[in-house]
Structure 1
Amino acid sequence: FKPLRGDPADSDVEVRSQVNLSRGEPMILNYRVYKTPAGWKIYDINVLGAWLVETYKGSFASEIGKSGIDGLIKTLAEKNKRLASKPIKAAAK
């Protein structure tokens, strides 16, 4: 992680990090986090200059346009259920 300069009272901050890969250039990963009574929680991540929330906003708007908010919720619930039932594969070394 890169040094963070912020006010200790802040409840919403951006954490900047750099992942050094075994091959090639380092990858910059930035996280948006907020403070909860249970601790800090990540709510957005930036990979290669794109914030995940912004990326999904367009696809969510499209689904809402086709099926409404209930359709979006149903689609997300089905996808989560499908993904939760799949085992996680370890990365090849």
Structure 2
Amino acid sequence: MNKIASILHQKSITIFLPAMVFLLSITAWAQPAGTPKDPVVVMQAAIEKVLAQLKTNEALYQENPEQLRALVAESALPYLATTRMAQLSLAKHWRSASAQQREVYLREFQRYLIRTYTKTLYLYRNTQPEMLGRDNKMGNSSESKTTLKMRVNNERGEQVILFLRLELHQQEWKIVDVNVEGISLVVTARGAFDEEINRIGLDAFLQHLTEQNNQAATNHE
């Protein structure tokens, strides 16, 4: 495991794993044209739906983890602001990247999100989260942006407070970042990515990320 994989894996285990239960809980977010629903109400319904789905398919993880990853991807990716998240995570390197490098990065960033957190989503299928409503102290509030506050127990049974940063895209609320007790998923990824790119260059970074995703798929991790 190279440095970038080690850094992100450690951060994921200790901080972001429970948060991803909610990041990938938005299969019910599709909205008809018109005024979007209250994001608090939508999120509550979405959480209940995805956790029920994970419990229903719990045997699938042991039998075919790749199929479970596909299930998570189909449910979540259309409703995540993945391009925005990817751009924020790559920061200055996105601006200097070629069109081909951006295409590779966007593809592998999506694969990274899915393969890293599917196992944890399965482990947290019995989580009972509590919605605490909006909390716009974490960022600017407007008609197109908001922040939701939630409470969940981690794998040690400790209470964790997390904030979901949302933006409205074509009348659908989408997640652009997760903040867990003051630590941002995007900022953490940005730091790890930046360090690796500065050390070995963007092309080598993209190759490593692709290799990690391919290896995980081959090993059914």
TM-score category, normalised to shorter length: 0.5 to 0.7
1:63 & 1:21 partners in 2: Cα distance? 29
Return 5+ residue gaps in structure 1 as ranges.
88-93
Residue 163 of structure 2 corresponds to residue 30 of structure 1: yes
> In percent, how many aligned pairs have the same letter?
33
Q: Deviations over 1:15-68 (max 9, x none)?
A: 111115697442112112222237322222122431111112221111111222
Q: Paired residue for 1:75? A: 208
Q: Specify the alignment match of 1:4 in structure 2.
A: 134
Change (3 A) 1:71 1:13: farther
Q: Aligned equivalents of 2:185 and 2:154: distance in 1?
A: 21
TM-score, scaled to structure 1: 0.65
Task: Work out which structure has the larger RCO, using CA pairs closer than 8 Å and 6 or more positions apart in sequence.
Answer: 2
2:132 is paired with a residue whose SS is coil
Any stretches of 5+ residues in structure 2 without a counterpart? 1-130, 136-140
How much has 1:75 moved relative to structure 2? Answer: 2.1
| Count of aligned positions | 85
Kept in 2: contact 1:33–1:41 (CA 8 A): yes
* Change in 2 beyond 3 A, CA 1:82/1:30: farther
Match of 1:57 among 183, 190, 194: 190
Query: CA 1:13 to 1:70, structure 2 compared with 1: closer, same or farther past 3 Å?
Result: farther
Mapping 1:30-49, distance limit 5 Å: 30-37=163-170, 39-49=172-182
More helix by share: 2
Cα gap change, 1:67 to 1:83, in 2 (>3 Å) = same
TM-score where L is the length of structure 2:
0.32
1:13 maps to 2:146: yes
